[in-house]
Structure 1
């Protein structure tokens, strides 16, 4: 995590711009076709996460990682437990991703309703030792400031906190750097409350907060429903009730400004960086970034 600047030395706009310099970006394997745009708009060394939405698109993910690395970025592939058949499959894909240039990976359970193989939780993948055996030095784990409906409905909120504790303990015991990457949301207050809970429980990993890039209200409602985003999405849904607003573009200015304030004024919370989701497309995202940086 970057050493926090004094909050009194920055205007709110300066704080937002400085905070965004540490931003990472998430793409799908198919979006690697926009690599030229990424090279034009992003600084070398920027972390670009490569999601794996379709279990059958592993080859595309590996190729995207290879191209991102060659272009000077820091590729971070998603490794979803529920998309992996067995340990042989895990070993082969981590080896391939590492050979393509990834030294940081995001290890998560994954959104599939049922696992296709032997794994359904990130900790099961970590405990194989496959990551460090392939030169991976940093692991991201998933965080849910507003809960994970798939888990909390059946097992309760405490399970999420216990899982983060277990994964942090494993990372530290095995000399791996770690961070938490959250689901996207729309307001800073739930992030602050959640981070305070983590710190009280002894979880001190830096937090990278999911931020939806500029997109129409209709698009954001769709992604919020798909991803189980909770209470902070209520204002988006309320706007969607007005049919004239469905095609209006929402920008995350207030949200990012709130996160920047937490980063600089409350460093004990460990709000390290924004993680940007280009739901409305790269043109909208980079156009917006140009107005706030």
Structure 2
């Protein structure tokens, strides 16, 4: 399937409305240290927004649970990361689940391999976490897994999508064996055409889990490039590289308007398109991402509840 030849377009009334609808129910990712900078995250986001809490290596479970407890009290839906490679064994996993549930009322989780090369214990993949049965046993209502629209060199060292697609097919099969709702939340990318190509490829491979597409919130171009390189963003990095050649744009924040408008218009024209929600990585700050979403969202979006 050929990539779609998107060109930069001016904002139109149609694209404005499409973007507002596409942003409904967006989610956002924080870390304990970034969340601590916001006095009341619930006052900044639409009621019921899903907030992922990233568990970076070196962060203690005490800090993670405390952040989850605080944010739950502010009226958002908390979804902590469970990085398989830093979880020592089944007993630790069971303890984390119990603490999140008992101390913060958490009933949903993002399961992923994690950002380290060598596992610290018995787990090395999100599939092992799913197979443990502990999330089902605890009655977690929602389990998300990671997606990579531009591939993942950790999973497919030679490039391509073979292993990541097989892993998602396994997770698709697992979804039929659990009562929990499942979805794919992706790494961020900067160009709509490769995202659409990847999402359509999933459907062709028989994977129909809903996709929550990752995008980077507004940030300085230098910041965006740094994170994009560190996170292994693929061909869509060229969007930033082209912009970097224009010295007049170096001091202006890079915003996700173009990629999200293109995806929104595609969704409006193809209602069965499997991307259902937007997930923000607030590289330029939580407040900047939340304000951008509010500025471009539909009226009443501040009362939206994440339901997909």
Regarding TM over 0.5, the answer is yes
The residue aligned with 1:52 is 55
Cα distance in 2 between the residues matched to 1:96 and 1:33: 20
1:82-128: CA deviations, max 9, x gaps?
11111111111111112222111100111112111111110011101
Q: Is the 8 A contact 2:29 2:281 kept in 1?
A: yes
Distance 1:56 1:39 in 2: 23
Aligned residue among 122, 125, 129 for 1:121: 125
Residue in 2 that maps onto 1:193: 197
Q: Which protein is richer in helix relative to its size?
A: 1
Counterparts of 1:134 and 1:177, CA distance in 2: 14
- Contact persistence 1:221–1:240 (CA under 8 A): no
SS of residue paired to 2:81? strand
1:24 counterpart residue number = 27
Answer yes or no: is 1:215 the counterpart of 2:219: yes
Structure 1: unaligned runs, 5 residues or longer: 1-9
**Once the 2 structures are TM-superposed, how far is the Cα of residue 54 of structure 1 from its aligned partner?**
2.2
Q: SS of the counterpart of 2:151?
A: coil
TM-score normalised by structure 1 residue count: 0.91
Partner of 1:15: 18
Distance 1:142 1:74 in 2: 18
CA contact (8 A) 2:151 2:159 kept: no
The structure with higher relative contact order (CA 8 Å, sep 6+) is 2
> CA-to-partner distance for each residue in 1:120-160, whole Å, 9 max, x for gaps?
11001110101111121111000000000112115852111
Q: Does the aligned pair in 2 maintain the 1:98–1:135 contact within 8 Å? A: no
Aligned residues: 284
Secondary structure at the counterpart of residue 85 of structure 1: coil
Q: What is the Cα-based RMSD across aligned positions, in Å?
A: 1.8
Structure 2 Cα separation of the partners of residues 34 and 134 of structure 1: 32
Secondary structure of 1:152 counterpart: coil
State the alpha-carbon separation in 2 of the partners of residues 69 and 272 from structure 1.
24
In the other structure, the counterpart of 1:250 is 254
**2:46 pairs with one of 38, 43, 46:** 43
2: distance between equivalents of 1:253 and 1:133?
Answer: 41
Corresponding residue to 1:97 among 97, 100, 107: 100
Q: Does structure 1 retain, via aligned residues, the 8 Å contact 2:220–2:253?
A: yes
* Contact in 1 for aligned 2:32/2:67 (Cα 8 Å): yes
Structure 1 residue 241: Cα displacement: 4.8
Structure 2 unmatched runs, 5+ = 1-12, 298-308
| CA deviation after TM superposition for structure 1 residue 244, in Å | 6.0
> CA–CA distance in 2 between the matches of 1:192 and 1:274?
14
